[in-house]
Structure 1
Amino acid sequence: MALPVIDSYPMPDRSALPRSHVSWRIDPARAALLVHDMQNHFVGAFPAGRSPVVELVENIAALRALAGTLGMPVVFSAEPAGQPPGQRGLVADMWGPGIRDESDGAAIVAPLTPRSGEHVLANVRHNAFLRSHLGRLLRSKGRDQLIICGVYAHLGVLLTAADAFMNDIQPFVVADAVADFSAEEHTLALRWAARSGVVCVTDGLLRALLLHREQKKA
């Protein structure tokens, strides 16, 4: 199964957010930012220059900029190119061989190119924790909150959020900094994410991070 051709759809706004069942508050001293699979291969399935990909990249860039300012770890998960069958496993049955060696599909999209001091983890499954050292990295940094953005909402984003929750890491899924195959699947993913974490929007999360910093200074 190849990636579908994704039609343009509007990003959800605050009014469309499902109710979270927890009252966790984001703390920049406890949080890390995960940018999930924002590679040319995956982002290229969206119509360029239209919603939701325009807001997706802009909002992730804003989160990444503030995370850097606040000293929060920034982690990119990325599928490696040219995986052999033994590594790809059952994913090949569902999604085919994945990213080819000869393309630039494995690169993170240009506006989000990883910088010095940021972390890039190879992930060979949708869940960014599985078969990677993401959990160990977060523990080494003393982080028990994870802001999750990227693609695709009902696959990697949702599975990563669920695994974070199962490992006592509070997930914060940013509704307008993730995207999916369709508006329907995007909405479904947010509903499920709200059962194991906080679903928020970019501007609200940015304000909360800045407010927490100011309260610490006071």
Structure 2
Amino acid sequence: MRIKATESTLLVVDIQERLFPAILDGAAMAEHTAWLQQVARQVGVPVLLTEQYSKGLGLTVAPLREGVDEAAILEKLHFSAAGDGELFKRPGGERRQFVICGCETHVCVLQTVLDLLARDHEVFVVEEAVGSRRASDKALALARMRQAGAVIVSREMVAFEWMERAGTELFKRISREFIR
């Protein structure tokens, strides 16, 4: 089961201004997420953002919100981004594969992943681009997602599968700009 650029969407779950400071290693999580967003744009993968009750938790942190069309930002009250079906009406929501980043791993990310799997989507969770307030909650959530059928991946695994092959202009550009 490979991640295909033509079949996947990058879903960034709830990396919001008021929640973000409490996330363990949050700066690294956001940096890895921003990296994936940039690679996604290069390969033509849609990016969707969710915001859990933005009136209370704030908007998605500015670096991740930059360049994202308002139609690609989903305001939600369900913990799961797939809870009310609105996700599937957004650009990229119709695709069969979802690559997931965000927080909190054991709440909104977990419930989103479980709902996507229940709807027969292929789900890939980027380990270094998800976070929780406590390491134990993140570890338990990743184990539960894996057990439920999600595939736990790294950001480079995603990037190389999206590119598919070396020797192309796309590969050269991404290698030069993002792979170090």
**Smaller-chain TM-score bracket:** 0.7 to 0.9
Over 3 Å counting, the alpha-carbon distance change for 1:81 and 1:54 in structure 2 is: closer
Read off the aligned partner of 1:206 and give its amino acid letter. Answer: A
Alignment of 1:66-77 (within 5 A): 66-77=39-50
- Structure 1 residue 211: Cα displacement: 2.3
Contact 1:40–1:107, Cα closer than 8 Å, also in 2: yes
Read off the aligned partner of 1:55 and give its amino acid letter. Answer: A
Instruction: Name whichever structure is richer in helix by fraction.
Output: 2
Provide the aligned C-alpha RMSD in A: 2.2
- Structure 1 residue 135: Cα displacement: 2.1
Contact 1:28–1:212, Cα closer than 8 Å, also in 2: no
Count of residues in Structure 1 that have an aligned counterpart in Structure 2: 167
The one of 77, 82, 86 aligned to 1:124: 77
Over 3 Å counting, the alpha-carbon distance change for 1:122 and 1:199 in structure 2 is: same
Aligned to 1:193: 145
Distance 1:174 1:154 in 2: 14
Structure 1 gap ranges (5+): 1-23, 83-98, 100-104
Distance 2:135 2:47 in 1: 27
Structure 2 gap ranges (5+): 171-180
Distance 1:203 1:80 in 2: 31
- State the TM-score, normalizing by the size of structure 1: 0.70
Distance 2:28 2:58 in 1: 21
- Structure 1 residue 212: Cα displacement: 5.5
Moved more, 169-178 or 204-213: 204-213
Contact 2:87–2:93, Cα closer than 8 Å, also in 1: no
Aligned to 1:89: none
Aligned to 1:30: 7
